[in-house]
């Protein structure tokens, strides 16, 4: 199954709804490109909704890390929402759960941007 990505806007925050597998190939390339396009257009607050993601391989994890680093370098923030049990376990095993901010719902992730202290 391919990775399907649907972009939504939620009060100025970009939400990418992901469904399928994040694996080596077009899937990871498309996800990176979409995140970079958002950042380049000035949309720095991004939530990846992983509710529909049933599998992530090592290239997929590398892509998530690359997207996270790109957002940080451009003064943005990338957060994860709706991690499935399988994805949550993978994040804990790889210790990436200490790197990414993850939330139960997209709404919770959105609200976390509102709670950030002004710089």
Q: Quote the tokens at residue 26.
A: 């077009």
pLDDT of residue 114: 78
**H or E element at residue 71:** helix 58-73
As beta bridge partners, residue 47 has 15, 79
Contact yes or no for 57/24 (Cβ under 8 A): yes
Between residues 114 and 55, which one has the greater pLDDT?
A: 55
Domains recognised in the chain with CATH numbers: 4-114 (3.30.750.24)
- Chain segment 38-86, per-residue pLDDT in tens: 999 999 999 999 999 999 999 999 999 999 999 999 999 999 999 999 9
Count how many Cα atoms sit within 13 Å of the Cα of residue 35 in the half-sphere of its side chain: 29
**Does 1 have pLDDT greater than 70?**
no
Q: Above pLDDT 90, what percent of the chain?
A: 88
Q: Above pLDDT 70, what percent of the chain?
A: 95
Q: Is 95 left (phi over 0), alpha (psi -120 to 50) or beta?
A: left
Q: Quote the tokens at residue 100.
A: 């990414």
């Amino acid at each position: 199954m391919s990775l399907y990505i649907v972009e939504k806007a939620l009060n100025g925050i970009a939400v990418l709804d992901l469904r399928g597998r994040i694996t080596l190939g077009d899937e990871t390339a498309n996800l990176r490109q979409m995140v970079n396009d958002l950042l380049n257009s000035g949309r720095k607050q991004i939530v990846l909704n992983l509710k529909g993601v049933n599998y992530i391989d090592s290239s997929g994890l590398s892509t998530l890390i690359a997207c996270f680093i790109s957002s940080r370098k451009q003064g943005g923030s990338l957060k994860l929402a709706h991690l499935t049990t399988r994805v949550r376990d993978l994040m804990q095993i790889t210790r990436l759960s200490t790197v990414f901010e993850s939330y139960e719902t997209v709404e919770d992730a959105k609200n976390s941007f509102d709670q950030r202290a002004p710089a």
